[in-house]
Structure 1
Amino acid sequence: MKTFPTDFLWGGATAANQVEGAYLEDGKGLSTSDVQPHGVFGEVVERVPGDSGIKDVAIDFYHRYPEDIALFAEMGFNCLRVSIAWTRIYPNGDDAEPNEAGLAFYDKLFDEMAKHNITPLVTLSHYEMPWALVKNYGGWGSREVIGFFERYARTVFSRYKNKVKLWLTFNEINMSLHAPMTGVGLPAGSSKGEVYQAIHHQLVASALAVKACHELVPEGKIGNMLLGGLMYPLSCKPEDVFETLQENRSWQFFGDVQARGAYPGYMQRYFRDNGITLTITDADREALKTTVDFISFSYYMTGCVTADEALNQQARGNILSMVPNPHLASSEWGWQIDPLGLRTLLNVLWDRYQKPLFIVENGLGAKDKVEADGSINDDYRISYLNDHLVQAREAIDDGVELMGFTSWGPIDLVSASKAELSKRYGFIYVDRHDDGTGTLARSKKKSFGWYKEVIASPRRQPESLKDARPAIAGRGLARFTRAQ
């Protein structure tokens, strides 16, 4: 029978650099996010006294978390994904001792979640490595950073071992191929060899964190986190089909290493064909054998691949280079909406790894309108999430072992790609705008009540969700266009 499991984890997902603010408070150091004020593809800007950026305050979760967690609890969350800002614990990354004020903040945060019976799902590194490690060591290009990360991981595992049982290593680890500064602390224009060497160091660090979690956290589970970049061939031409296989492998290889414990043969050929020689020690190979307990991923869109280079293009506002699918609608940011693709991806990952899966990001960024009476009728968001949850439930019926679903941005936050607040994801509206104005007051959108009803439905029976529709319906229809 098509139901979600009774122990299914329902909730939302955030990242420290997109919600917390307080960017230098209580001893916090600068992160790579702090010096990228215009998003993950923006230029690096050295901070000077008196300057400011939208992420410096973000939505002030650092000071308002009790209010926000109470709202999440009202929706019925039994899980909340957050990240620890590495720079709150080790401000420079290589500090001799951890920052107690930073550790104490997350103690309070996890205690507040426990009061509301919300299970923490904690990401160790979410696009915010210490900027000092980039300046002084060259980011993940330096093997020394592996040790700094392992020490940080062991510090937080030891501190929170009785409060946090579910962990993730690196957020969207495969994004390093598209945004090397954000992913591995390397400047744009770095060579493929430099990027893949940095990625290798990060994969080793991830495996060492998995080992440390198993040692230090009783009954703890730790997963990886992939950007689910499912691609389709633009046509049934064999060349397009093979090119698509290669494109999907470019992100699947991260999961292959983290879940299988070694580099796959196709990547070894890629390195040979591209003249890339990585420094991989015997100790590295041994470390990589420690694999993750589950596979987590984000899912927002799919795209198409073709062997015809003239057709390749960058979708407006997109974070991946892809050819638009003529059969799918797109958001105003160019993200193509494909609920069925989620079911496909869940089956692909389950067949590939046979490990529990967790959808830790899925949501719709849109420009919400506040009506005269203060209401926000985000039917387009309800439609988007409804249709994706229907496909997640179908995948469970296919035999996929799915642990949970945490929607991206249960509360409005600063977007990663462009550092915008106008691109809103939340069930909860935050009165703050791209120019920094606003009261930071929280209010409930229509989707707040809808998600609450979905979570509360007995055993999450099928009637709690409506059948998926082929297109976005309701007031938001005008904001989506068919790809040309």
Structure 2
Amino acid sequence: MIVWTNQPYSVYEQLMATGSFSCTPALSSNLNDGFDDFARAYAWMIKQMNRHTMEQSIFYCGDAQAKGYYPTFAKRLWAEHNVHLDITEEDKQEMLEGKVDMYTFSYYMSNVVTTHESEDKVGGNFAAGVKNPYLNYSEWGWATDPTGLQYYLEVMYDRYEIPLMVVENGLGAVDKIAEDGKVHDDYRIDYLRQHLQAIGNAIDNGVDVQAYTTWGCIDCVSAGTGQMSKRYGLIYVDRDDEGNGDLHRMPKDSFYWYQKVIATNGEDLG
């Protein structure tokens, strides 16, 4: 059972003795922009920026939910933002007792941490950042980086030592119906295959990955852009951005591919 809440300890009684619950942040790998041969001092500075970015965007909430207490750097963040918390010993005990049993997250892309603010920016990306010249990008500016997923799985498992689950992972693209009346989305199959291989690599390295679910089963309006044309589904839905279409559904090539992946429990990714 997964309970969605920003206060996991408040639903403890709902779960009773047999339940478990998780926290689900939206993750994207933060890489440094050492694409050229920078000086060691600069490389060190970038590493510090990456660490601070991880602390603020991932570990701050993750530690509170998965470890049951705020990380040591939280006091610095509170001071920087003039935040004063009155946390009692009872509050601390509630947090500790209410920590999650499994760490779940969504992953679509990686981002770049940089001091070069003038570099080409990534478009259509909720996390912004500059472009990584070594990666491919979707029509909405999202980087395809399966290595980033493996990195996050290994970092999160090393930090929290609890089971992990990827609850969202997919490619938003403009799908076209071919002359044969079908949707041949090999690009989506390739995206999913690469990320499942990355998960397999993490498992081989000892990470306890409990499950994986792709986003999504059917085409739906994108929560990020409000577009139907930004399609993620394994099943095509006849509807456009203007609301035209009869909503009939049609499995894409990725549907049949993923069906085989499920049947073989990920053994056959061909």
Normalised by the size of structure 2, how large is the TM-score? 0.91
Deviation of 1:351 after TM superposition, in Å, equals 0.3
Residue in 2 that maps onto 1:169: 4
**1:169 Cα offset (Å):** 1.6
2:55 is the counterpart of 1:249: yes
1:321 & 1:378 partners in 2: Cα distance?
Answer: 26
Alignment match of 2:72 (pick from 260, 265, 274)? 265
Write the mapping of 1:88-237 to structure 2, written as runs, cut at 5 A: 166-170=1-5, 202=6, 205-209=7-11, 211-215=12-16, 219-235=18-34, 237=43
Amino acid at match of 1:403: Q
Amino acid at match of 2:15: H
Letter in 2 for 1:284: D
Deviates more, 1:353-362 or 1:339-348: 339-348
Alignment of 1:451-462 (within 5 A): 451-457=258-264, 460-461=266-267
Aligned to 2:170: 363
User: Match of 2:165, SS?
Assistant: strand
Alignment-mate amino acid for residue 212 of structure 1:
E
SS of the equivalent of 1:454 reads: helix
Partner in structure 1 of residue 45 of structure 2: 239
Report how far residue 454 of structure 1 moved: 1.1
Asked whether the 8 Å contact 2:8–2:99 carries over to 1, the reply is no
CA distance in 2, matches of 1:340, 1:325: 13
Structure 1: tracts of 5 or more residues without a match: 1-165, 171-201, 467-484
1:326 aligned partner, one-letter code: P
Letter in 2 for 1:231: N
Q: What displacement does 1:313 show? A: 6.9
What pairs with 1:290-329 in structure 2 (closer than 5 Å)? 290-308=98-116, 310-311=117-118, 315-329=122-136
CA distance in 1, matches of 2:266, 2:45: 43
Aligned identity (percent) is 39
SS in structure 2 opposite 1:169? coil
Q: Which residue in the other structure is 1:338 paired with?
A: 145
SS at match of 1:443: strand
Which sections of structure 2, spanning at least 5 residues, go unmatched? 35-41
Cα-Cα RMSD:
1.7
1:102-157: per-residue Cα shift (whole Å, max 9, x none)? xxxxxxxxxxxxxxxxxxxxxxxxxxxxxxxxxxxxxxxxxxxxxxxxxxxxxxxx
Q: Give the Cα–Cα distance (whole angstroms) in 1 for the partners of residues 226 and 172 of structure 2.
A: 12
Distance 1:370 1:296 in 2: 34
CA deviations over 1:235-293 (Å, ceiling 9, x no partner): 26211110110011112211110011111111211111332223545543332111000
Residue 392 of structure 1: how far off its partner (Å): 0.5
Conservation of the 8 A alpha-carbon contact between 1:312 and 1:322: no
CA contact (8 A) 1:232 1:303 kept: yes
Alignment of 1:76-87 (within 5 A): none
Number of aligned residue pairs:
261
Cα distance in 2, alignment partners of residues 460 and 332 from structure 1: 28
Amino acid at match of 1:294: M
Q: Which residue of 2 aligns with 1:392?
A: 199
Q: How far apart, in 2, do the equivalents of 1:402 and 1:422 lie? A: 32
Change (3 A) 1:272 1:415: same
Q: What's the counterpart of residue 244 of structure 2?
A: 437
Q: How many Å apart are 1:408 and its aligned residue?
A: 0.8
1:465 is aligned to: 269
**Preserved CA contact (<8 Å) 1:233 1:240:** yes
Normalized per residue, the structure richer in helix is 1
Give the whole-Å Cα distance in 2 for the aligned partners of 1:291 and 1:169. 13
Shift of 1:298: 0.3
Regions of 4+ moved over 6 Å: none
Q: Distance in 1 between matches of 2:225 and 2:235?
A: 20
Higher relative contact order (CA 8 A, sep 6+): 1
